[in-house]
Structure 1
Amino acid sequence: MTVALVFAGAMAGAPLRYLTDRAVRNRHDALFPWGTFSVNLIGCLILGGLAGAGMAVPAPLSALLGTGFCGALTTYSTFSYETLQLFERRAYRYAALNVVTTVVACLGAALLGYAAVHALVG
């Protein structure tokens, strides 16, 4: 049952990642990978919220939303690949900015999601 829930969540998360990335890229013609940054930020906010809910979230829902949906929505591999592409293009400042802002903003989003949901549930 859990495998089916993870699969179902991933079936929603992966296309949403692709569509969000494309929509953001169409609006921002920039060297910085705003699409990947956006999906990672959103995924971290959701995962933080799930963690903040703690035991109030049943295991099946956690598998569906956390592992399945957020696991497919967020992408560390694309983040890494795009950072390497920036280095190859000699856009060193953008590469460093991508690493620093992604790590700091995603940790902040996870903390914000955790704190907000924990305050509501706890």
Structure 2
Amino acid sequence: MSEPRGVLAAVAVGGSVGSAARFGVAQLLPHDAGTGVPWSTLAVNAVGCLLIGVLVVLVDGRHPLLRPLLGAGVLGGFTTFSTFGVDAVVLAERGAVWTAAAYAAGTLIMAVAAVTLGVSATRRLTGRTT
């Protein structure tokens, strides 16, 4: 295992990159959480889940700071579970209960499917089994 300060630094650097990328996506796909599906949040979570699936396969046995840098750092900063929760609550509070429920259920299903797709496709493309 890497030295704790090195891991913390890797997560911090990666997190700043991921957060900046998420902010960029939010600028490209702005939304008001109370008026419809929060597409930017859905997009970053879908892409982040797909990429974490790829990461799980590719970084095994690599440099010990690579997983914290890219996983908890970049992808942790990029994806946003808390914003997903707030968006769903705001939709429901503004009367879009069915949209909120579909968004919440759809996001969870999409997350698991995207990770599964990332892992499966990466294993198939690389020939790795773990």
Over the aligned positions, Cα root-mean-square deviation in angstroms equals 1.5
Equivalent in the alignment of 2:8: 3
**Quick check: which has more Rg, 1 or 2?**
2
Equivalent in the alignment of 2:100: 95
**In 2, Cα distance between equivalents of 1:78 and 1:57:** 32
Structure 2: which 5+ residue stretches go unaligned? Answer: 1-5
**In 1, Cα distance between equivalents of 2:15 and 2:47:** 15
Contact 1:52–1:115 at 8 Å: present in 2 too?
A: no
Shift of 1:57: 3.9
- Identical-pair percentage: 32
**In 1, Cα distance between equivalents of 2:62 and 2:96:** 43
Contact 1:52–1:116 at 8 Å: present in 2 too?
A: no
**In 2, Cα distance between equivalents of 1:14 and 1:24:** 15
- AA paired with 1:91? A
Equivalent in the alignment of 1:104: 109
Structure 1: which 5+ residue stretches go unaligned? Answer: none
**In 2, Cα distance between equivalents of 1:95 and 1:46:** 25
Deviation beyond 6 Å, 4+ runs, structure 1: none
- AA paired with 2:95? R
- AA paired with 1:65? L
How many residue pairs align between the two structures? 119
**In 2, Cα distance between equivalents of 1:48 and 1:9:** 17
- AA paired with 2:90? Q
**In 2, Cα distance between equivalents of 1:100 and 1:85:** 15
Equivalent in the alignment of 1:32: 37
Higher helix share: 1
Shift of 1:118: 1.7
